C-alpha cells in the first residue's frame, strides 16, 4: 500500500456527514431530536412529478443508458423555465446542460477551468463545497466578505486592492446561503463589470431563487452577463426534490461544451424516470411557488419566535431556506449549538462551518413542519 493521494488530506469530512452520524445515534438512543440543521426539504414533490417517475419506470424501454446531455424534452423544459421565471432566453441544444444536482456542477465547473495554483474567489461565509472542491484540485481559495446591510454585496473595493492576476473563478450565490442575503440586480450588475474588468469567470450558484424572494433573479438576465457568467440551478429546494439529484448548468455554448467533455467521463446520463419527473416539475404553474412561499413564510415566523426566545438577532428581509442568527456578544455559537442539542434535543448548525465570518452565528433550517418548530419553542424555558 503506497498511501492515499495528497488531495485526500486537502479536505475534511463534510460537517453534516459526521454530525448527522452523532444526531442519528442520539435518535437511535431514543432522544426526541428536532432537526433544524440541514436544508433538505421535508415536503413531497408535486403528484405529477411522482406519477411521471412511476409511469416511466413501468415502461420496459425506460431503463437503458441515457444521453450525456439529457433528453431534448428536459433541456427544452429547462429553457422554458428560464424564459418564464427569469426572462432569460437560452438555446436548449447548446446553452443548457442538465446536472445531477448543482453540487456536482461545482466539481465539473472547477475541473473544467482550474489548474493547480489558480485562485478562486469564494464568499465567507459560504457553501463549504466551493472551498473543498477548490482544495481537491490544488487551486487556492481566496475569501471575500459580503455586506449584509447591502443585500450581500461583496466588498469589491477590498478585492480591487488585491492582486487578482491569478484569480480565474469567482463563486457567487444569491439568495446567499447561509446568510439569506437576497442579492439584487444592481449588485449583480456590479459583479459582471468587476468580472469583465479582471478577466474572471463569474459562477452564480442559484438554488434558492424562488424561496422567500420578492422575484427570482438569474445572473444571465443582467446585461452583458452571458459573456462572463454561468449559472448553476437546482430542483432540490424549489421543487422538493433533493434526493432526486437534478440541476442544470446554463450559459455560453463554448464553455458548456467543455464542461460536457469533462462530465461525460464521469457519468452515463440520468435515469429517464428522473428526467421525466424533472420535466413535470419544471412545467408546474405559479401556484406551486405561491404554496411553497406561504409554507415557508409560516414556518419562518415560528423560527423567528424561537430565535427571539433564545435572544438571537436576525434580518427579516433575508431570503432562502434558512434563518441566519447572530448570537449575543460574549456568547459562543458552538456552545449554544451543543447546549440545544444535548439539553433540549434541538439540532441547529453552527455558523463557523461556513467560514470564519460565521463564528458568531447559527443557522436554522425551515425544513421542519410547524408543529415541530412549535415543539422546539416550547422546549425553551
Ligand X SMILES: Cc1ncc(COP(=O)(O)O)c(C=O)c1O
d(CA 139, CA 15): 21
d(CA 35, CA 116): 38
Among residue numbers 303 through 362, which ones bind ligand X (CB under 6 A)? none
Residue 48-87 contact track with ligand X, rule CB under 6 A, x = bound:
----------------------------------------
Query: Between 164 and 251, whose beta carbon lies closer to ligand X?
Result: 251
Query: Between 204 and 276, whose beta carbon lies closer to ligand X?
Result: 204
The three three-digit cell numbers of residue 239, written as one number: 421543487
Asked whether position 209 contacts ligand X by CB under 6 A, the answer is no
Asked whether position 221 contacts ligand X by CB under 6 A, the answer is no
Query: Between 183 and 207, whose beta carbon lies closer to ligand X?
Result: 207
Which of 98, 207, 351, 358 contacts ligand X by CB under 6 A? 207
Which of 173, 179, 209, 345 contacts ligand X by CB under 6 A? 173
d(CA 379, CA 370): 14
Q: How far is the CB of 47 from ligand X (least distance, A)?
A: 22
Asked whether position 103 contacts ligand X by CB under 6 A, the answer is yes
Q: Is 374 helix (H, G, I), strand (E, B) or coil?
A: helix
The three three-digit cell numbers of residue 197, written as one number: 474588468
Asked whether position 102 contacts ligand X by CB under 6 A, the answer is yes
Q: Helix, strand, coil % (nearest 5) of the chain?
A: 45, 15, 40
Query: Between 164 and 169, whose beta carbon lies closer to ligand X?
Result: 169
Alpha carbon 50 to its chain's center: 23
Candidates 325, 263, 337, 313; CA nearest to 70 is: 263
The count of chain residues that interact with ligand X, using the rule CB under 6 A, is 13
Task: Using alpha carbons, list the distances in angstroms from residue 15 to 5, 86, 326.
Answer: 21, 33, 20
What H or E segment, with its residue span, contains residue 140?
A: strand 140-144
> Which stretch in 41-49, 101-109, 134-142, 262-270 sits in contact with ligand X by CB under 6 A?
101-109
Residues at the site binding ligand X, with contacts judged by CB under 6 A: 39, 101-103, 127, 173, 177, 205, 207, 234, 236, 242, 247
Amino acid at each position: 500500500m503506497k498511501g492515499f493521494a495528497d488531495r485526500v488530506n486537502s479536505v475534511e469530512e463534510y460537517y453534516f456527514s459526521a454530525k448527522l452520524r452523532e444526531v442519528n445515534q442520539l435518535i437511535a438512543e431514543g432522544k426526541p431530536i428536532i432537526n433544524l440543521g440541514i436544508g433538505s426539504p421535508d415536503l413531497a414533490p408535486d403528484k405529477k412529478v411522482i406519477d411521471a417517475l412511476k409511469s416511466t419506470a413501468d415502461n420496459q424501454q425506460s431503463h437503458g443508458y441515457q444521453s450525456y446531455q439529457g433528453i431534448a424534452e428536459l433541456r427544452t423544459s429547462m429553457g422554458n423555465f428560464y424564459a418564464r421565471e427569469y426572462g432569460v432566453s437560452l438555446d436548449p441544444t447548446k446553452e443548457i446542460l442538465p446536472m445531477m444536482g448543482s453540487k456536482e456542477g461545482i466539481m465539473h465547473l472547477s475541473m473544467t477551468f482550474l489548474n493547480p495554483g489558480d485562485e478562486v474567489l469564494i464568499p465567507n461565509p459560504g457553501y463549504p463545497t466551493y472551498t473543498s472542491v477548490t482544495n481537491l484540485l490544488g487551486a487556492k481559495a481566496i475569501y471575500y466578505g459580503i455586506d449584509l446591510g447591502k443585500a450581500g454585496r461583496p466588498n469589491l473595493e477590498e478585492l480591487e486592492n488585491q492582486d487578482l492576476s491569478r484569480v480565474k473563478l469567482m463563486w457567487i450565490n444569491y439568495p446567499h446561503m447561509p446568510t439569506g442575503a437576497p442579492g439584487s440586480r444592481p449588485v449583480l450588475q456590479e459583479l459582471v463589470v468587476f468580472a469583465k474588468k479582471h478577466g474572471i469567470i463569474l459562477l452564480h450558484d442559484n438554488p434558492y431563487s424562488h424561496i422567500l424572494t420578492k422575484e427570482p433573479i438569474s445572473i444571465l438576465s443582467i446585461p452583458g452577463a452571458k459573456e462572463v457568467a454561468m449559472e448553476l440551478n437546482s430542483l432540490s429546494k424549489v421543487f422538493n426534490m433533493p434526493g432526486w439529484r437534478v440541476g442544470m448548468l446554463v450559459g455560453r455554448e463554448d464553455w458548456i461544451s467543455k464542461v460536457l467533455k469533462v462530465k461525460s467521463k464521469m457519468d452515463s446520463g440520468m435515469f429517464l424516470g428522473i428526467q421525466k419527473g424533472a420535466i413535470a416539475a419544471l412545467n408546474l404553474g405559479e401556484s406551486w411557488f405561491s404554496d411553497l412561499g406561504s409554507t415557508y413564510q409560516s414556518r419562518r415566523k415560528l423560527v423567528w419566535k424561537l430565535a427571539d426566545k433564545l435572544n438571537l438577532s436576525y434580518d427579516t428581509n433575508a431570503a432562502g431556506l434558512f434563518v441566519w442568527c447572530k448570537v449575543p456578544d460574549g456568547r459562543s455559537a458552538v456552545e449554544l449549538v451543543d447546549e440545544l442539542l444535548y439539553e433540549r434535543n434541538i439540532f441547529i448548525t453552527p455558523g463557523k462551518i461556513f467560514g470564519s465570518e460565521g463564528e458568531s452565528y447559527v443557522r436554522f433550517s425551515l425544513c421542519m413542519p410547524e408543529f415541530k418548530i412549535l415543539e422546539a419553542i416550547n422546549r425553551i424555558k
